[in-house]
A and B are shown apart, each in its own frame.
Chain A
Amino acid sequence: MTPVQTPSIFAPVSTPAFAIRELSFFVLGITAVIFVIVAGFAIYTLIRFGRRPANPDLEPAQVYGSKQIELAWTVVPFLIVVVLFLVTARYVWGIERRAQPADALEITVVGNQWWWEIRYPKLGIVTANEIHVPVADARPTPTFFTIQSVDVAHSFWIPQLAGKMDAIPNKTNRVWIEPRQVGTYVGQCAEYCGLQHALMLLVVVVHPKDEFQAWVAAQQTPPVDQATVTAGRQLFSSLACINCHTVRGTGGNGVFGPDLTHLMSRSTLGAGAARNTPENLRAWVKDPGAFKTGALMPAMKLDDTQLDQLVAYLVTLR
């Protein structure tokens, strides 16, 4: 059994998610009071006037209305709405209009059918589905995301870090996080985007600052060319792989599929379709549809030798 990791919106670890929880407790409180009063009055009415009457044939007194009472139960809800609106607007502004500090980390997230491209434009890193950010413990060091899509609408959602932000083609959206706690937080695409909407995992790994720097350095280094896997590497660049995939430092610079430069540093294949082990990787390359029906990567019809050589090469991409 894998340990349970529930992405509850009420277990925030990041500034905007904390703010939303604060606001939601306020709203939940108000609505709970309304519920108790109205439901209580309803139950009282049903019990008191639901008893078998002494003289059932006689109609009860006909009350046509009361201007005062009706006015009261119109004005009071209206006042509640005014309060709720002011509080809401304050939080909307506070979260959406936060200025981006000069030293904030910038990440571009691009929704694809059915995976996420993750770019660090200032650091020259491109990866997929798994986002690595530094923790904001002592000093506020937020991460600002630019959210885009290359095909249909998706939605970027890691509940413990921030609310959703849609990835919409022809549009650039922004959202930010400020995680205060080291750890791994999961989310997934939250806007229906076609066949495999269910398999669009998002993972955010929050590192201590020095660990994050080490991760950046590792990602910036091209993978070491190993002589033992030359056959696989040649296969990779002679087949259609490089039409879609990039491996930095080789001829492969395709942009339709995930960047494979540090493929083995990621924990899953196909955005959560399977754990990233050499065995699964081999099965994935053989037929991606076996893990993820309709995945846009085709089965390349490789024979067993080719598969062995190719996977031997791919597992060196650490």
Chain B
Amino acid sequence: MSSVPTAVPAPRDIAPATESSGVLAILHEWVVTVDHKRLGVMYVATGLVFLVIGGLEATLMRLQLAWPGLTLVPPDTFNRLFTLHGTTMVFLMGIPIVFGFGNYLVPLMIGARDLAFPRLNAFGFWVLLFGGVLLYFSFIGGDGLYGAGSAPAVGWFAYAPLSERAFTPGNATDYWNLSILVTGFGTIATAINLIATIATMRAPGMTLGRMPIYVWTMLTVSAMTLLVLPPLSAAQIMLLLDRFLGAHYFDTQAGGSAIIWQHFFWFFGHPEVYILMVPGFGFVSEIIPVFSRKVIFGYASLVAATVAIGAVSMSTWAHHMFTVGMGSTLNSFFAVSTMLVGVPTGVKIFNWLGTMYGGKLRFRTPLLFCCAFLFQMLCAGLTGIHLAVAPFDWQLTDSYFVVAHFHFVLIGGLVFTVFAAIYYWFPKVTGRMLSERLGKWHFWLFTIGFNVTFVTMHFPGVLGMPRRIYTYPADRGWDMLNLVTTVGVPFQAAAVLILVINIVYSLRHGAPAGDNPWEAWTLEWATSSPPPAYNFAVVPAVTSRRPLWDLQHPDDPDGPHE
């Protein structure tokens, strides 16, 4: 049976022996580490720090827009704020958190002792952190020789030719360009690492068909990353050549093309949304079964839907470009390819509901976040259908409706699942539980604040309010809606503060977790909390998708049902 130890011997203690235990020694340990768990924690911590920074930027913007004609934030500052907010949240919050969790969980879930290339893994993290610091250094260095600007103000998609030297002199845009290029290298390295690990380092008996769905999501998004990030890097290098060596790729005044940049950018930019979202679907696919006490409903179709989302989403990018004048044929093609993504996404939602149906639901904080996620993802998917309908999109695109839509995707979808994942895996990472009481405060404040802000935000878009404007006139009828949108912000800020307090408090005072506090079934719960540096003293043998269920129910193991 699965409990029989295999022949793989336990390694000698590979954790570096520490002679002193001062702050410097601890810092040194973390800086030089190649342990996937420590790097995972550093990735996620980096992501959370940037979540707070990006959130503060959003707060300033919402204050400026709370009422028509305010002059709280000057125009140039406002434009920098939304540029940095978008860039930060996608590249410095979303990516580190997604790949940080992948770093931490994938080896544990497949019964491996580390990633395939631990030093490459450390490289990926430090390069990403460097890119993040570089972006924010632009506040100081962005003036450049021209004395123009400070931080970049070209928007997170840096449309050409606004990003060309003629329209954005100074170094600000170069900081945007180089920092994202650099973080991209780190992300590509980590994607390669995850694919190699999943392909070659699974525990005995862990066939592809027995991998946890979360591991499937990371495999999918790592493959997507390899396909879509290099084109962005290529475009950024072209922009670099334009700006420094007088090339004319996107220089429209010398016959370059503004549209080509958009194609390059969105060929990355749209799959990027799924690179961020699909691992969130993975979290939900792990958490809902455990808190419903039921096996996932339709494992095979969930895996198929995951891969299908990855594949189809690669042919939808130009739905961001319905208004650039592509012509009716292309507009129709990208409309239908975009709608098709809705099918596998719908399948996932149905599978999760099918899992909960007939279960015994335990409404702990992780499940609460997953439940809110289900409703919000449903809304995000349906407004996505509205935007896929090209003529409807001609009205909605670049309005506040789109802003509301993608915040429903990335907060209502991604961030909610990340919160669920933090409450779910914190005990494994630290050996201590997060406070349930604070967790419920966090959940309710954030859910209420999020919906007040982002449900409301759809309406000014329908009423004709474009995005990225630092002010608006009083006679448009947008004022009350914007005020309500802003009113939701303090709720969300308070909720994030509670999360931070919860983490800091529980690190020292949380209830001891034990190996498997949630009575879960995947391999990471088979080792101690926190896991030793080598993860498993004995590499476990696997005979089904839920190895720990098999151990608890030797009379009715999963294997025969799969």
Contacts and interface: CB of A to CB of B under 8 A. Distances in A.
Contact of B259 (A46, A61, A89, A168): A168
Given A4-B475, A166-B325, A23 B339 contact: no
Nearest to A293: B75
A27 B339 CA distance: 12
A192 B255 CA distance: 21
24 contacts: A1-B475, A6-B478, A7-B464, A9-B396, A24-B395, A34-B382, A59-B360, A60-B292, A63-B295, A64-B295, A65-B297, A70-B301, A84-B339, A85-B336, A89-B336, A95-B391, A160-B464, A163-B393, A164-B323, A168-B325, A174-B325, A191-B159, A194-B153, A198-B468
Contacts of B561: 62, 64
A56 B360 contact: yes
B386 A92 contact: no
B395 A9 contact: yes
Interface string B455-498: 00000001110111111111111100000000000000000000
A163 B395 contact: yes
B43 to A, nearest CB: 31
A272 B466 CA distance: 15
A157 to B, nearest CB: 7
B392 A27 contact: yes
Q: List the 8 shortest-distance A-B pairs measured between CB atoms, nearest first.
A: A163-B394, A7-B464, A198-B469, A6-B477, A169-B252, A173-B325, A65-B298, A159-B464
Interface string A33-72: 0110011011001100110010010011111111001100
Interface stretch (A182-190, A215-223, A309-317): A182-190
Interface string B159-192: 1011000011000000000000000000000000
Nearest to B546: A62
Interface in A70-95: 70, 73-74, 77-78, 81, 84-85, 88-89, 91-93, 95
Interface stretch (B10-18, B122-130, B340-348, B501-509): B340-348
B230 to A, nearest CB: 25
B297 A19 contact: no
Interface stretch (B44-52, B194-202, B351-359): B351-359
B397 A164 contact: yes
B325 A195 contact: no
A152 B159 contact: yes
B324 A84 contact: no
User: Which among A6, A74, A92, A171 has the highest number of chain B CB atoms within 10 Å?
Assistant: A92
Nearest to A156: B323
A159 B359 CA distance: 48
B19 interface: no
B325 A171 contact: yes
Nearest to B335: A88
Interface string B252-283: 11011111000000000000000000000000
Contacts of A7: 463-464, 476
A193 interface: yes
Interface in A130-178: 147, 151-153, 155, 157, 159-160, 162-166, 168-171, 173-174
Nearest to A185: B464
Nearest to A160: B464
Q: How large is the interface on A (under 10, 10 to 19, 20 to 34, 35 or more residues)?
A: 35 or more
B332 A61 contact: no
Contacts of A305: none
Which of A2, A74, A196 gathers most chain B CB within 10 Å? Answer: A74
Given A88-B336, A163-B395, 9 more contacts: A6-B463, A20-B395, A23-B392, A60-B292, A73-B350, A81-B339, A155-B398, A171-B258, A293-B75
Contacts of B292: 49, 60
B7 to A, nearest CB: 32
A162 B464 CA distance: 12
Chain B: interface size category: 35 or more
Interface in B46-83: 74-76, 79
B327 interface: yes
A17 to B, nearest CB: 8
Contact of A61 (B252, B358, B382, B463): B358
Nearest to A93: B328
Contacts of B295: 62-64
A159 B432 CA distance: 54
A118 B295 CA distance: 64
Contacts of B153: 194-195
Interface stretch (B138-146, B372-380, B437-445): B372-380
Contacts of B342: 77, 81
B331 A96 contact: yes
A230 interface: no
Contact of B359 (A28, A49, A151): A49
B255 A31 contact: no
A307 B360 CA distance: 80
Contact of A27 (B297, B301, B356, B385): B385
A308 B327 CA distance: 51
A281 B392 CA distance: 40
A307 B255 CA distance: 41
Contact of B476 (A4, A81, A85, A173): A4
Interface string A275-299: 0000000000000000001100000
B300 interface: yes
A301 interface: no
Contacts of B371: 42, 46
